[in-house]
Structure 1
Amino acid sequence: MNLVNMEKYKNSLFGNIKNKLSDWLELDAGETIPSQEIFRFLHSIKGTAGTLQLCGLMAITEQLLEGIDEDSEKVWNRTELRNFLFELIEHIYEYEHFDEVEIKAKPVRDSQAPLIQIIDDDISMLILLKDLLEDMGWMVITNADPVKATNQYFEMQPDCLILDIQLPAMDGFQILQEIHLHNEKYFIPKIMISIQNDKHTRIKAFKMGADDFIGKPIDFDEFIVKMERHIQRKKIFDQSVLIDELTQVYNRRFLEDTLPRYFNDYKRSGLHFSISIIDLDHFKRVNDRYGHSVGDFVLVEFARFIKNNIRSSDLICRHGGEEFVIIFPNTSNDEAKHKLTKLIKDFSAKKINQNGHTFRLHFLRGFFRLKMKILRPRRHWRKPTLLYMKRNAQVAEGLKAYN
């Protein structure tokens, strides 16, 4: 199956290898490279070369890996490196295409698309997997630095983590351990990838908390099927704990978990968003006059109405009772106000029929600021807490900016 433009990634891989070799072969007298760095370099080439079906390059790196010890304290000077890597250098310079292919920017995707994180110090593999997954319509974040990547994981809370075992400074098993210690309450599928595909490594990965293990070279067809399965499992889990049972919209917990992602996106890329708190007016009278079963029906109808009349990228959550929160990504104050005004008008005209009773309702739009402006993020905000609106006083409590 032609899932990706293979030639593009082959060019990228050869370009990266050539750049690294050029750096090493231009070392000044007295400068050296440790064996561990050379081992990781060859190790990453082997995994990507196998994935891209570059059998000749993979065979060369396998042979070179047999001649170097990862744990050796040996350092290599320029002459030693040139002699040791001569066959690899010769193979690279026989390849016709050295320029790295320009990676075009991906379009902005639906904020409801799954967010995948990839941690691998092999840049060519990162680019390859990122493009492959983004072609599936998923959002992807990547990082080659294991320490920064771990912080990014806790900050972004991705829907799936793809993690290589062989990393500098902090290996994949250490990252799994760190995640397990500080992030047990979230279910996020974790997939280990590695050129080390032996039984001992796989068992260790599963014991450390991995949900799956994929050996390099990676088979794209199998990889995509497994990814789809893990994303589906994540979706089913989220629906069981993050969906309001009555109204079938997201619940308060989901709102608490999701808001930080919007704020982080804003800090990183400047993508603004607006938040509104909406509240069914005089809802208590409905319960008192017609009973709670009718009140529940009203809440269900109201949530369905909102879902059917906002964009797929907009987000509605039930905060509690008759209070709901709507997040409008990439939306200005005026645009959100206009949309809410229309929603209020259309819903107020809607007749509700239940148990022989016919009536109309309308809802209030609540805003964080007392001057009735929709909440917009500010750059000095670090993270949000939850929000809600006291209907009578129209004072938002909970979502506050703090330094």
Structure 2
Amino acid sequence: MEKYQLALIARLKEQLELWLEAEQCPHTNPDRHSDQQSVATSDELYRFLHTIRGTSGTIGLSRISEEAASLMNALELQPQDEWPRSDLKQFLSPLVVLVQGEHAAAPVKVDAGKAGSNVKGSLLLVDDDEAILAYLTEELGRRGYGVTATTDPAIALRLVHTSNPDAMVLDLHLQMSSGIDIMLAAREQAAAVHTPVLMMSADMSPTAPVQALRLGADDYIVKPLHATELAARLERLLLRKRVAEELASVDSLTAVLNRTQLPELYREAVSATGNTGHDGFLLMFQLANLEQINLTWGEEAGNAALSGLAQCLSSRLSGESESELQAVVRYSGSRFIVLLRGMEKEAVQIYIERVKQRLSTFWPEGEDRGLITVVYTQMEPALEAANETLHGLLRLSRSAKEIAERPMNEQADKGCILEFGS
């Protein structure tokens, strides 16, 4: 941690000399040389103390952090728009004494730097203080996070688009922007709509966290902060994100994937089919007498029948070769799609027969016989034909009862009916 402390001290000394030494006056009027000329605005002074309080406390310079906090409180009691050099010297003198007693080192440079193994997730870290960026990048990297850090809000927004981080850690108050501005702009990008944001700030006002959370931040942590606590909060946010993603992709009744996952699954299946040189197939299973079951036994029985069918289809996934079976998807109320890849046409009929043999195992006891229609079609290698393939399969499913009387090997429309149960 010492290297970050020394780098911060170097930056503090540089800024204090810039403000307090007459020959280095930075203000806009080059003719101002006396101690009565303004060298800093109240906003500039507040941002300086705000940054110092948060960074110094985080990297172990507690006395400097406490003094910066004290000066921030004093600044509220001593409001003035412009600060002449003489007033600023007197006001900052306690901080100057502390800083002059420390040894400095070369500043730490961070510009979209990367660290960490990305085992626990990828992070985008934005702060205008390079010392705290470097420190947190190293600390979070050691804890298994892949960290991309920058001081530039524009670069941060580009990284949201190109890197798609799992979470963002943003400083609330930045010199050129704010963490809230970055968060709102990032979430205009589709990929980042649900990306968790942890806001951090040395702002001690009670309204700061309230504003950040109301505008969409998922968590808020006050500087000075401990890297261990920050890592724990990120772990919780990422766990919550993973659970939400799983729930969003899974049908709540049957526990198989929902139809939102179908386009990506189709792309994967087409790709895998091309690699094996065999055909890929889509099968649609429909519980054709679901309405009758609901009317006779109630919706609870109908739900149990759907869950039983889903379990049966899913159990085949665990029992088949990984190269053959890819996924089961609940396509609509009573319809399920099974994706098969790398199979010969004859193997599809074998698969359907195996499903039929197992259906009674999953059928609720005491219910009417199950009536399930099955249709299937070969996948089109062109991804743009995917929607038409699915629509064609749905048309086949709707006419399955009409074509199911013919033997399987004579069915040009590839339809059949499976009956089972008591």
TM over 0.5: yes
Share of identical aligned residues, percent? Answer: 22
Give the corresponding residue for 2:25: 27
* Higher alpha-carbon Rg: 2
Do the aligned partners of 1:190 and 1:210 also contact (CA within 8 Å) in 2?
yes
Asked whether 1:278 is paired with 2:272, we answer yes
Displacement of 1:44 in angstroms is 0.5
Residues 56-96 of structure 1: per-residue CA shift (max 9 Å, x gap) = 2123223333454698531545x654554343333222113
Q: Determine helix, strand or coil for the equivalent of 1:168.
A: coil
Call closer, same or farther: CA 1:181–1:298 in 2, change over 3 Å.
same
* CA–CA separation in structure 2 for the residues paired with 1:303 and 1:38: 67
Displacement of 1:191 in angstroms is 1.7
* CA–CA separation in structure 2 for the residues paired with 1:139 and 1:218: 20
* CA–CA separation in structure 2 for the residues paired with 1:196 and 1:169: 17
Matches within 5 A, 1:341-360: none
Do the aligned partners of 1:242 and 1:254 also contact (CA within 8 Å) in 2?
no
* CA–CA separation in structure 2 for the residues paired with 1:164 and 1:129: 12
Give the corresponding residue for 2:54: 47
Give the corresponding residue for 1:163: 170
Asked whether 1:234 is paired with 2:241, we answer yes
Matches within 5 A, 1:145-224: 145-150=152-157, 152-153=159-160, 156-178=163-185, 186-224=193-231
Displacement of 1:121 in angstroms is 1.9
Asked whether 1:137 is paired with 2:138, we answer no
Asked whether 1:95 is paired with 2:102, we answer yes
Give 2:6's match in structure 1, choosing from 2, 7, 11. Answer: 11
Q: Determine helix, strand or coil for the equivalent of 2:272.
A: strand
Asked whether 1:122 is paired with 2:129, we answer yes
TM-score normalised by length of structure 1: 0.58
Call closer, same or farther: CA 1:321–1:186 in 2, change over 3 Å.
farther
Call closer, same or farther: CA 1:35–1:107 in 2, change over 3 Å.
closer
Displacement of 1:194 in angstroms is 1.8
Do the aligned partners of 2:123 and 2:169 also contact (CA within 8 Å) in 1?
yes
Displacement of 1:233 in angstroms is 1.0
* CA–CA separation in structure 2 for the residues paired with 1:255 and 1:46: 50
| Structure 1 counterpart of 2:43, one-letter code | Q
Do the aligned partners of 1:15 and 1:99 also contact (CA within 8 Å) in 2?
yes
Residues 163-201 of structure 1: per-residue CA shift (max 9 Å, x gap) = 222223433344445456666983222222222344433
Matches within 5 A, 1:319-330: 322=339
Q: Determine helix, strand or coil for the equivalent of 1:209.
A: coil
Displacement of 1:298 in angstroms is 7.0
Residues 198-228 of structure 1: per-residue CA shift (max 9 Å, x gap) = 4433333322222222112213332222221
* CA–CA separation in structure 1 for the residues paired with 2:63 and 2:243: 43
Larger mean CA deviation between 59-68 and 226-235 belongs to: 59-68
* CA–CA separation in structure 2 for the residues paired with 1:109 and 1:321: 36
Q: Could you say which structure has the higher helix fraction?
A: 2
* CA–CA separation in structure 1 for the residues paired with 2:265 and 2:45: 46
Do the aligned partners of 2:116 and 2:141 also contact (CA within 8 Å) in 1?
no
* CA–CA separation in structure 1 for the residues paired with 2:12 and 2:324: 53
| Structure 2 counterpart of 1:277, one-letter code | S
Where structure 2 has 5 or more consecutive residues not aligned to the other structure, the ranges are 33-38, 286-308, 330-336, 355-377, 386-422
Q: Determine helix, strand or coil for the equivalent of 1:158.
A: coil
Do the aligned partners of 2:198 and 2:221 also contact (CA within 8 Å) in 1?
yes
Give the corresponding residue for 1:312: none
Matches within 5 A, 1:56-71: 56-68=63-75
Displacement of 1:16 in angstroms is 2.4
* CA–CA separation in structure 1 for the residues paired with 2:282 and 2:340: 15
Call closer, same or farther: CA 1:22–1:302 in 2, change over 3 Å.
farther
Asked whether 1:74 is paired with 2:82, we answer yes
RMSD: 5.0
Call closer, same or farther: CA 1:253–1:240 in 2, change over 3 Å.
farther
TM-score normalised by length of structure 2: 0.56
Displacement of 1:396 in angstroms is 6.4
Where structure 1 has 5 or more consecutive residues not aligned to the other structure, the ranges are 1-5, 257-275, 308-315, 325-343, 358-389, 399-403
| Structure 1 counterpart of 2:44, one-letter code | E
Call closer, same or farther: CA 1:106–1:204 in 2, change over 3 Å.
closer
* CA–CA separation in structure 2 for the residues paired with 1:306 and 1:18: 67
